[in-house]
Amino acid sequence: MKLNELPKNPAGARDGKRVGRGIGSGHGKTSCRGQKGQKARSGGYHKVGFEGGQMPLQRRLPKRGFKNPFRKVYTLVNVQDLEIFDAGSRIGIEELKATGLVGRERDGVKLLAQGEITRAVTIEVDRASASAIEKVRAAGGEVIVKFVESEDSAQTAGE
């Protein structure tokens, strides 16, 4: 076997150009980095958002608002959505998920008073507005809640 008969070694194959291998290669001396400066040095480049010493954009803009990390996010269900259930049925979070009214539960389910209801149903939710409770009770149904919101102040369901 001669040197010119050796098969190519795919593991030893190099990608891209070989730099810094002499003047005859065309990529010698400065290794395609140009002359002196930050970009010619090893490890020399600026961080993301660097604007050459000018105050970066993210520091020039004012800070606004506040994100409350303890905020509760409820999945909303309206009274009119309960019309798909049969009269006299008991509705919980599982039934709401099965019908597609609730996708992701988040911090709970809240019943709101948009629309009308004509069927007497029993619904169990985490929160409900006072007007939603009135509408369900007017139709002959019942609302079981963990927390009730009245018009002027919030109060618990047991009171």
Is the pLDDT assigned to residue 154 strictly greater than 90? no
135 vs 156 pLDDT, higher one: 135
- How confident is the model at residue 16, as a pLDDT? 75
Distance from C-alpha of 96 to C-alpha of 91, rounded to nearest angstrom: 7
Instruction: Please list the helix, strand and coil fractions of the chain in percent, rounded to the nearest 5, in that order.
Output: 25, 20, 55
Is the pLDDT assigned to residue 137 strictly greater than 70? yes
Give me the domains of the chain, ranges plus CATH numbers: 19-61 (no CATH), 75-152 (3.100.10.10)
Task: Please list the alpha-helical segments (H only) found in the chain.
Answer: 57-60, 93-99, 130-138
| Nearest C-alpha neighbor of 100 from the set 135, 133, 72, 75 | 75
Distance from C-alpha of 29 to C-alpha of 2, rounded to nearest angstrom: 34
Convert the pLDDT of each residue in 93-122 to its tens digit.
999 999 999 988 788 999 999 999 998 999
Distance from C-alpha of 71 to C-alpha of 62, rounded to nearest angstrom: 24
Convert the pLDDT of each residue in 85-101 to its tens digit.
999 899 999 999 999 99
pTM for this one? 0.56
Q: Cα dist. 131→33, 49, 78, 115, 126 in Å? A: 72, 51, 11, 11, 15
Read off the pLDDT of each residue in 4-9 and give the average, rounded to a whole number.
Answer: 85
Q: Are strands 122-129 and 154-155 parallel, antiparallel or unpaired?
A: unpaired
